[in-house]
């Protein structure tokens, strides 16, 4: 569960941010988060994530170490990827794209893609609809591939 701030930094602003014809029982207060203060989950030895889910979308901060690979996959979500630091080579639909700090890419639902990080990289992704698979505890493709590789390596060691 995402950690909200216990004390939302705010001050009274009478009449601001209010649409009078929206019933007060329908208007909810926004939730305030600091993504960097969310729990850090290690997905693989080179991939870490922090995320928050809303009712309609999910946002995740990926921290990739140089050499990290997110294997070819797709998901039914629209994905907006924004590289804030570092460099990744992205492969999709038979094309190679080089993403660097400040660039972003929009993946429509079910478009196959893979990432190869050639530098330490920070990537912010937004998914819509929200990642119910993560809420349900399903691991991302990079973790699944890492677990499969470890199982295969272990099997190869057996006499």
Four-point Cα dihedral 103, 108, 110, 113, nearest 10? -20
DSSP 33: B
pTM for the whole structure: 0.81
Q: Say whether pLDDT at 6 is over 60.
A: no
Render pLDDT for 42-60 as a digit per residue (tens, 0 to 9): 999 999 999 999 999 999 9
- Are 118 and 80 in contact by the 8 Å Cβ rule? The answer is no
Q: Which domains does the chain have, with CATH numbers?
A: 47-134 (2.60.120.10)
Q: Which residues pair with 64 in a beta bridge?
A: 47, 121
Mean pLDDT value of segment 112-121:
98
Residue 99: enclosing H or E segment and its boundaries? strand 95-100
Render pLDDT for 15-42 as a digit per residue (tens, 0 to 9): 788 777 776 666 677 888 889 999 999 9
């Amino acid at each position: 569960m995402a950690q909200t701030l216990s004390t939302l930094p705010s001050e009274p602003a009478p009449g601001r941010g209010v649409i009078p014809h929206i019933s007060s029982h329908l208007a909810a207060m926004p939730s305030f988060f600091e993504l960097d203060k969310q729990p850090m989950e290690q997905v693989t030895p080179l991939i870490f994530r922090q995320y928050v889910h809303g009712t309609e979308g999910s946002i995740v901060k990926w921290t990739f170490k140089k050499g990290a690979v997110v294997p070819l996959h797709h998901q039914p979500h629209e994905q907006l990827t924004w590289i804030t630091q570092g460099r990744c080579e992205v492969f999709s639909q038979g094309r190679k794209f080089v993403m660097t700090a400040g660039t972003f890419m929009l993946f429509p639902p079910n478009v196959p893609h893979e990432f190869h990080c050639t530098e330490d990289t920070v990537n912010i992704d937004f998914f819509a609809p929200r990642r119910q698979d993560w809420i349900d505890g399903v691991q991302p493709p990079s973790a699944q591939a890492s677990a499969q590789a470890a199982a295969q390596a272990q099997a190869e060691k057996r006499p």
